[in-house]
Copies of this chain bind each other. A is one copy, B any other.
Amino acid sequence: MKWTGAGRQTKAGDLVLLMGQRQKYHLIPLIEDGEFQTHRGVLYHNDLIGKPWGSKVSSHKGNPFYILQPGIEEIIYSTKRNTQIMYPKDIGYILIKLNIVDGSTVIEAGTVSGSLTQVFAAIIGDNGHLFSYEAREEMQNLAKKNLHRIGLEDRVTFIQKNIEEGFEQENIQSLVLDLPNPYDYMDVVKNALIPGGFFGCILPTMNQIVKLLTALKRSAFVKIEVTEIMLRHYQAESNKLRPTDRMVAHTGYLIFARSFEKNFEE
Contacts and interface: CB of A to CB of B under 8 A. Distances in A.
A77 to B, nearest CB: 11
A93 B98 CA distance: 14
Number of copies: 4
A227 to B, nearest CB: 5
A236 B224 contact: yes
A69 interface: yes
Interface residues of A, number: 94
Interface in A217-256: 217, 222-250, 253
Contacts of A246: 246-249
Nearest to A69: B196
A240 to B, nearest CB: 5
Given A173-B69, A205-B242, A264-B66, A236 B226 contact: yes
Among A88, A227, A235, A238, the most chain B Cβ lie within 10 Å of the Cβ of A238
Nearest to A91: B96
A249 B245 contact: yes
